[in-house]
Amino acid sequence: MAKGGLGRDDPIEERAPEIVRLLSDVYPDAKVALRFTNPLEMLVATILSAQCTDEKVNQVTATLFSKYRTAEDYLRMPEDELKRDVKPTGFFNQKATSIREACRRIVEVYEGEVPDTMEDLVTLRGVARKTANIVLGNAYGKVEGVAVDTHVKRLANRLGFSEQRDPDKIERDLMRLIPKERWFDFTYVLIDHGRAICESRRPRCGECVVNHLCPSSQV
């Protein structure tokens, strides 16, 4: 008999609360790994984190944030200089353009301040719901959804929380199954578990606390 009487073949509506509980117990201090001190830094760091490790982003922003302190600073500096500054994070042409255009709108429309609503954030270049959720939750303490990054997407599919591939659809499934008061912190629980155990190529199912509840478990 599976722990708690539940097994991987039970409906996800029944398994989800136990999965949330067990994983949260393993990662009680889960939080965003990106370093920031204000909403603009959170926004820029999150844009840079696409297809890049948080560790590398933090190395880059340690210098970047002392050079670019305001949205206006990102516009005053030549774009080629910004590209050089963010090059180690990869896809630097696209990222530099996104940062500059996001800052342009922040200056022109929002008086130099990063907006604090989902509706406004997603109007910025390079910002979809994932980035907006990260900025809102970490910089403003506002929770409007679940940030679906590559780890969250992978675990949502493997655990059976969602069969979707589109991040917005996965987010809706997660919001349905996870209590609203857990949306923010459980995002980082999933991310930490994805990094530590449920890796992309070789998930360590034998070490996973929820392997008995996971339909993708290899044990």
Question: Same domain, yes or no, for 8 and 86?
Answer: no
Question: Same domain, yes or no, for 129 and 51?
Answer: yes
Question: Same domain, yes or no, for 47 and 135?
Answer: yes
Indicate if 130 belongs to the active site: yes
Burial letters 133-153, b for 16+ CB under 10 A, else e: bbbbbbbeeebbbbbbbebbb
Question: Same domain, yes or no, for 133 and 189?
Answer: no
Question: Same domain, yes or no, for 150 and 132?
Answer: no
The residue type found at 131 is T
Residue of 149, 153, 173, 192 marked catalytic? 149
Interhelix angle 183-196/150-159, rounded to 10 degrees, is 90
pLDDT score of 218: 87
Q: Where residue 98 sits, what CATH number does that domain have?
A: 1.10.340.30
CB under 8 A, 24+ apart: contacts of 88-95: 88/56, 88/59, 88/60, 89/48, 89/49, 89/52, 89/56, 89/57, 89/60, 90/51, 90/52, 91/50, 91/51, 91/52, 94/126, 95/47, 95/48, 95/50, 95/126
Q: Number of folded domains in the chain? A: 2
Indicate if 149 belongs to the active site: yes
Question: Same domain, yes or no, for 90 and 17?
Answer: no
Q: What percent of the chain has pLDDT over 90?
A: 97
pLDDT score of 100: 98
pLDDT tens profile 172-206:
999 999 999 999 999 999 999 999 999 999 999 99
- The predicted model gives 83-95 an average pLDDT of 98
In a domain, 219, yes or no: no
Query: Which residue range(s) make up the domain with 46?
Result: 39-140
**Contact indicator for 10, 16 with CB cutoff of 8 Å:** no
Residue where a domain terminates, one of 91, 122, 140: 140
Residue of 10, 54, 85, 130 marked catalytic? 130
Question: Same domain, yes or no, for 129 and 45?
Answer: yes
Question: Same domain, yes or no, for 120 and 45?
Answer: yes
Q: Where residue 194 sits, what CATH number does that domain have?
A: 1.10.1670.10
Question: Same domain, yes or no, for 171 and 124?
Answer: no
In a domain, 218, yes or no: no
Asked if the model's pLDDT at residue 2 lies above 70, the reply is no
